[in-house]
Amino acid sequence: MRLIVVDDEPLARGVAREYLAAHPDIEIVAECANGFEAVKAITELAPDLVLLDIQMPKLDGFEVAELVGGKTRLIFATAFDQYAIRAFEIHALDYLLKPFSQERFDKALAHARASLASALPRQEAAVREAAAARDRPLGRVLIRDGAKVHVIRAEAIAWIEAQDDYVQIHAGGKAYLKNGALGELEAQLDPGRFLRIHRSYLVNVEHVARIEPAGRDSHAAILADGTRLPISRSGYQKIRGAMQ
Amino acid sequence: MSWLTRARRGALLYLLAWLIVGAVLGGMCAIVTSAPPANALLFAIPGTLVYGVAAGFSAYYLCRANPLGARPLALVVLALCTAAVLAAFMWLAVLGGWNELCLAAGVRWAGIVQTPLLSALLFALGTLLYGLLAAINYLAIESGRARNAERRELESKLMAQDAELRMLRTQVDPHFLFNSLNSVSALTSQDPKGAREMTLRLAGFFRRSMGMAGHPRITLAQEMDLVRDFLAIEKVRFGERLVTEEALEKGALDCLVPPMIIQPLVENAIKHGIGQLTDGGLLLVAAWRDGARLSITVSNAIDPEMPETRRSGTGLANVRQRLACAYPNESTLEWKREGETFSVEIRLPAQAATTEANDSGA
């Protein structure tokens, strides 16, 4: 079994290494000290199992889980007990409370071995569902680009365009492709800031400079950088209300 | 409901008092005009009761509208005198009218002969009674205000206690303890000496923080001992990511501060600042004395790309509240975020350890 250890504390990684020494069938393929490294390593190395800390710099454990989209099984290891329910909602295999004993760790591994045969898709769907059901609007959007991860603050996003199975996110003069539907992202972002002005366009109201008529019965939104976005009839009602 | 019954009882007592005044007045009338007692009482009591109600309301509103100290005293006295004279005149008119009615009825037991002497006496009494009412009202207002002040003082004391309790509850962050124990657990096999060192630091930190809870003030030097224990433990966890520096002026170290006032700031700095950086950063604690003021700043590296966390507000609010309770209107807490640095500065009166000892002895 191939495993990745993710923890920002070297000593905590040391404990995991020590406990794992008792399991010769498990190979540690990588050790990561933050969320970025973890996403990169999980994407590139496709391990069977990840021992994941939650409070980490850059990306926390749940953001890592969201980005790798259930491509691996997770065991959380943290000193915080308040995230346990959230962890099981995304079908984590186990939730270890630091400090934990070798026996407790062995049990978690035994559980992992037993369930590794079971299908991953269920977990994948659960991760997506949990991300969509978050009650707070997203403050930042995570985009995985191969093994690279972009973290984009919601304020910086000017507009988002639907493209088949992808969305194109425009922020700071750059465009990023992200998996998923526009409606899904719309549901997660702050509805006071992001308006669906068209079937294919979600716009950040704060980046809209003005609305111009375009043709006899249609309008266009002009963004601060000069971009023109079409506005549908129902979108016009929404944006007019928001801009007043 | 209880308020209603109490109000009703108050009103009944008030009317009873006026009934007595009316009876006494009736007796007086009987003597002055040598009218039969029944006639005198019938003359005096109804009018007096009416006056009690009317003058009572009038004096109450007049006193409420002119609180003492808010307006020039002469103006208040003038207003009251005018009101008293007017009220007395009206009372006289009511009594006179009632007497006319009684006389017109033509029965033996009603009506008296209203002499000028009686009228003058009644007028004087009316003004006096009105003045008395005003005085009673002012007394009630003042005592109410004193009671309010007392209650406010009690409330602020309770608030201070509450803040203290919250401090005790937050002073030991359970996650800090569990993470530290995890480090100890790791060190026991990798570095037994380090594990012992860490255990001693933990014991020192907890012993110090528990000992401090009972003291209203400690010296900055003592607080810094606690902070150093805390930082030493965190350094074992974070390794090279946590770099700390101190810039403490000598005179500042003898100054008194509320216990555990810097520790939460340092804890925040690690939790929301350095802990969020992959490469870590610098945490600086500085303190200096500036005449009668003591300034303490805690600044730390932050990730400039991180959105501002709302969570950091609670720790700061707690420290701010404790400072406000310890030094009402004499302390400030300010924080600012500049690029890659976050800093909190607290300013409070500089009290040297020796003067405090004298103060508490006095």
What is the C-alpha separation between A69 and A64, in angstroms, rounded?
8
pLDDT in the model for residue B102: 85
**Which amino acid appears at position B13 of this protein?**
L
More confident residue, B5 or B46: B46
A15 neighbors B182 (Cβ within 8 angstroms): yes
Collect all residues of chain B within an 8 Å Cβ-Cβ radius of residue A12: 182-183, 186
Same domain, B120 and B199: no
A170 neighbors A159 (Cβ within 8 angstroms): yes
Q: What are phi and psi of A71, to 5 degrees?
A: -85, -5
Same domain, B145 and B250: no
Same domain, B106 and B12: yes
A70 pLDDT more than 80: no
- Look at residue B186 and tell me if it is in a domain: no
Same domain, B217 and B322: yes
Q: How many CB pairs under 8 A join A and B?
A: 62
Q: Return the residue of B nearest to A14 by Cα.
A: B186
Residue the block writes with tokens 């008194």: B256
State the total domains in chain B: 2
Q: Which of A56, A66, A33 is nearest to A41 (CA)?
A: A33
Q: Which of A127-141, B86-100, B200-214, B220-234 has the highest mean pLDDT?
A: B220-234
pLDDT in the model for residue B256: 93
**B99-118 residues touching A, CB cutoff 8 A:** none
pLDDT in the model for residue B2: 66
> Which of A128-142, B218-232, B240-254, B274-288 shows the lowest per-residue confidence on average (mean pLDDT)?
A128-142
Q: Given CB atoms, is A232 within the 8 Å cutoff of chain B?
A: no
Rounded to an integer, the average pLDDT of A153-168 is 90
pLDDT in the model for residue A15: 92
Same domain, B90 and B203: no
Q: Return the residue of B nearest to A98 by Cα.
A: B182
Q: Which of B236, B231, B324, B215 is nearest to B269 (CA)?
A: B231
Same domain, B250 and B118: no
Rounded to an integer, the average pLDDT of B325-330 is 85
- Look at residue B222 and tell me if it is in a domain: yes
Same domain, B241 and B331: yes
Q: Please, what is the average pLDDT of chain B? A: 85
Collect all residues of chain B within an 8 Å Cβ-Cβ radius of residue A8: 238, 241, 275, 278
- Look at residue B251 and tell me if it is in a domain: yes
Q: Which domain holds residue B28?
A: 2-151
Rounded to an integer, the average pLDDT of B300-318 is 72
- Look at residue B156 and tell me if it is in a domain: no
pLDDT in the model for residue B169: 57
pLDDT in the model for residue B359: 47
B357 pLDDT more than 50: no
B310 pLDDT more than 50: no
Q: Given CB atoms, is A16 within the 8 Å cutoff of chain B?
A: no
B308 pLDDT more than 70: no
User: What is the Cβ-side half-sphere exposure of residue B210, based on CA atoms within 13 angstroms?
Assistant: 6
pLDDT in the model for residue B358: 46
Q: Return the residue of A nearest to B195 by Cα.
A: A11
pLDDT in the model for residue A38: 92
**Among B178, B189, B278, beta carbon nearest to A79:** B178
B179 pLDDT more than 50: yes
Here the CATH number for the domain that contains residue B300 is 3.30.565.10
Q: Given CB atoms, is A99 within the 8 Å cutoff of chain B?
A: yes
> Which of A57-71, A154-168, B220-234 shows the lowest per-residue confidence on average (mean pLDDT)?
A57-71
Same domain, B209 and B330: yes
Q: Return the residue of A nearest to B190 by Cα.
A: A14
B126 pLDDT more than 80: yes
pLDDT in the model for residue B158: 78
Last residue of a domain, one of B122, B151, B180: B151
Minimal CA separation from B283 to chain A, in Å: 16
Same domain, B338 and B210: yes
Strand-strand pairing, B218-219 and A228-231: unpaired
B195 pLDDT more than 90: yes
- Look at residue B183 and tell me if it is in a domain: no
Rounded to an integer, the average pLDDT of B335-346 is 91
Residue the block writes with tokens 């070297």: A10
Last residue of a domain, one of B123, B151, B179: B151
Minimal CA separation from B182 to chain A, in Å: 4
Rounded to an integer, the average pLDDT of A56-75 is 87
Q: Which of B83, B73, B94, B74 is nearest to B134 (CA)?
A: B83
- Look at residue B45 and tell me if it is in a domain: yes
**Among A10, A18, A139, beta carbon nearest to B239:** A10
Same domain, B137 and B21: yes
Has the ipTM of the complex gone over 0.95? Answer: no
- Look at residue B160 and tell me if it is in a domain: no
Strand-strand pairing, A49-52 and A2-6: parallel
Residue of A6, A8, A11 to mutate for B, most B C-beta atoms under 10 A: A11
Same domain, B63 and B200: no
A178 neighbors A166 (Cβ within 8 angstroms): yes
More confident residue, A104 or A133: A104
Neighbours of B153 (CB within 10 A): 10
Considering the entire predicted model, what is its pTM? 0.64
Contact A98 B307 (CB under 8 A): no
More confident residue, B181 or B357: B181
Rounded to an integer, the average pLDDT of B217-241 is 92
Q: Which of A152, A243, A137 is nearest to A190 (CA)?
A: A137
pLDDT in the model for residue A108: 94
- Look at residue B59 and tell me if it is in a domain: yes
Same domain, B114 and B250: no
